Amino acid sequence: MVLTSLAGGFRLFRHSFICGLLILLLSGCAIPRVSAEDRLFLDISVDLVGSATLEKQTFDGEPVGGISAIAYDVTRDRLYALSDNRDRPRFYTLKIDSLSTLSTAADSQPTLADPLALSIEAVTYLTDAAGEPYPISTLDPEGMALTPTGTLLISTEGSPSRQVLPTVGEYDIATGQLKTAIPVPARYLPDSAESQSLGVQENLSFEALAINVSSGTGGVYEPYRLFVATEGPLLQDLDFEPDVPYKNRLIHYTISPYQTTLISEHLYEMDAVPTGAILHGLPEIAVLDQSGHFLGLERSYGLRGFVLKLFQLASGGATDISAIDSLKGDISGISPIRKQLVLDFADLDLPLQNYEAMTFGPTLRNRGNRQANPSRSLLVMSDDNFSDDQETSLLIFSLQQE
């Protein structure tokens, strides 16, 4: 029995020694530590690879400008550009020469192309469900996305001062006629023009809109997800203290031929307002994947000119706030959408314009490296506000994901 005990003790000692040695060896290796914050986000980067400028002009007797949203049609290799003109709201069909042939270099690093040619092929005016033009100043279109069925979803800001409600609608891409109105929760609708206490603020309403198509066929009978975000906080969510970030809301719908369902809402906290800024908001979002990752474009304007930042957003784990009437005051119990800086436009070697439209474009080829993963193109366009001092400029980025 003594020998048996000694043998058992030796085996235990040997096992403990080997485990301890393994732990010691592993602890000495340079194993990268990945924080929970890093695991939350995708490993992405963006690089500028091209640009284009739309010349000042008139088309169909109307001045061209005010581009507030864009959507790329991969089947036609065309770009739809939404003009926020309140007199005759419309969208243009644009052709970008050589856009689909842009590529990255053999080592997957971007190659900056010469400026591309950007031209207008057609204009389509938006009309109501009866096919009639909208009365002047009753429609202020700001967000747009191309659906799997070939229609356009368009969000409008409305105007509390003129008692015009914000809307989201599905429009026929050939005629511009309203097909379906998406229901908007009552908390977004201004309650009074004289003493408003509820709803969207003037010029800070439904600016950002994007859709997420499922991994299926994308056919007529397949539902998809729609996301709409406010540019600024609802009036009942607004804190007037300057050190409190703006509390925007993002709505999540599912759209099918049979019904539209509001799934959830989430809190999006803006960066702090830059010193001297008179405009600060979220003008655009784009869907990165089906796991709740987005891109968000924040824009400010003031004494420093334009301040523009591109963030990656992660909505996983964010609190559903659809049952919360007001976000004013303490929100410590609410988990917002998380965000991580991807690009500060101040780091680009170019003058900053009023960039507020964003969409994904064609896939960029990896020239000379067939084994490299192709990268997505990200298109960002500016709104010239129909001003001679501003441009309608298109920036083309290569978005790469590790």
* pLDDT of res. 285: 98
Q: What is the pTM of this model?
A: 0.88
CB 80 within 8 A of CB 146: yes
Please state, in angstroms and rounded to a whole number, the distance separating the CA atoms of residues 316 and 36: 13
* pLDDT of res. 35: 56
Residue 179: φ, ψ to 5°: -105, -45
Please state, in angstroms and rounded to a whole number, the distance separating the CA atoms of residues 44 and 229: 23
Q: How confident is the model at residue 297 (pLDDT cuts 50, 70, 90)?
A: very high
**Residue 44: exposure state from Cβ atoms within 10 A (0-12, 13-18, ≥19):** middle
Q: Does residue 46 carry a pLDDT above 50?
A: yes
* pLDDT of res. 402: 80
Please state, in angstroms and rounded to a whole number, the distance separating the CA atoms of residues 322 and 313: 19
Q: Does residue 219 carry a pLDDT above 70?
A: no
User: Which range is least confidently modeled, 101-110, 134-143, 189-198, 311-320?
Assistant: 101-110
pLDDT digits (tens, 9 = 90+) for 102-148: 766 544 455 566 789 999 999 999 999 999 999 999 999 999 999 99
**Residue 347: exposure state from Cβ atoms within 10 A (0-12, 13-18, ≥19):** exposed
* pLDDT of res. 98: 78
Q: How confident is the model at residue 33 (pLDDT cuts 50, 70, 90)?
A: low
Please state, in angstroms and rounded to a whole number, the distance separating the CA atoms of residues 222 and 159: 34
CB count within 10 Å of CB 362 equals 18
Please state, in angstroms and rounded to a whole number, the distance separating the CA atoms of residues 364 and 46: 13
Mean pLDDT computed over every residue of the chain: 88
For residue 281, give both structure tokens: 């908001």
Sorted by sequence, the CB contacts under 8 Å of residue 257 that are 6+ apart come out as 220, 221
* pLDDT of res. 22: 42
pLDDT digits (tens, 9 = 90+) for 51-84: 999 999 999 999 999 999 999 999 999 999 999 9
Closest of 296, 159, 180 to residue 227, by C-alpha: 296
Which pairs from 95-100 meet CB under 8 Å and 24+ separation? 95/119, 95/120, 95/121, 96/52, 96/394, 99/50, 99/361, 99/362, 99/377, 99/396, 100/362
For residue 393, give both structure tokens: 């400029």
* pLDDT of res. 9: 46
Residue 24: φ, ψ to 5°: -65, -45
Closest of 324, 163, 140 to residue 236, by C-alpha: 324
Could you tell me where the beta strands, DSSP code E, fall in 241-346?
Answer: 247-255, 260-269, 277-287, 293-302, 305-314, 338-344
The domain ranges of the chain are 38-401
In DSSP notation, 186-222 reads: GGGS-S-SSS--SSPPTT-SEEEEEEEE-SS---TT-
Q: How confident is the model at residue 364 (pLDDT cuts 50, 70, 90)?
A: confident
Please state, in angstroms and rounded to a whole number, the distance separating the CA atoms of residues 294 and 313: 5
pLDDT digits (tens, 9 = 90+) for 148-175: 999 999 999 999 999 999 999 999 999 9
- CATH number assigned to the domain covering 38-401: 2.115.10
- Cα of first residue to Cα of last residue in the chain, in angstroms, is 60
Q: How confident is the model at residue 224 (pLDDT cuts 50, 70, 90)?
A: very high
User: Which range is least confidently modeled, 23-37, 367-381, 383-397?
Assistant: 23-37
